[in-house]
Amino acid sequence: MDDELITERRPVTFPPVFGYLRHVTGGLPRHAALVDCLTAYCDRHELALCAVFTERDRSVVIRSPAFVGLLDALELPDTYGAIVPALSHLGPRSLGAERKRQVTAAGARLIVVRPLTPTPRSASLPSASLSFQQQGDT
């Protein structure tokens, strides 16, 4: 028998993902909480969060500096996708739809930590907390 490690003991590289936040209000504690949300999701799902691009400008331009940075990162070899806390981080509805299209056109997956559709677990929550979750108030 050779001395190679069995599969379970070999170092594994997790698929690289890049975060995107649209954080135009709130302070550093809120931003840190959002980054922690992305980090925790990636840890649970064995993804490597390589960087987080943060949009701080209220303007509604599709190709903002932070979003262009995200698109550039998605072009790196072996990149798995982009991750956002909620779809609202891509911007208002029409802007968000175009940005979503550009992410998927780059061949990347768009991972949404809190999707708009309620999960079976969240369906049992009181309606007040469910409506807060659906608003995407992040």
- Give the residues of the chain that fall short of pLDDT 50: 1, 122-138
Domains assigned to the chain:
12-135 (3.40.50.1390)
Tokens linked to 101: 């299209």
Exposure b/e, 94-125, CB count within 10 A at least 16 = b: ebbeebbebbeebebebbbbbeeeeeeeeeee
66-91 pLDDT tens trace: 999 999 999 999 999 999 999 999 99
For residue 93, list its beta bridge partners.
none
Q: Is the pTM of this model over 0.85?
A: no
C-alpha dihedral, 77 to 78 to 79 to 81, nearest 10°: 140
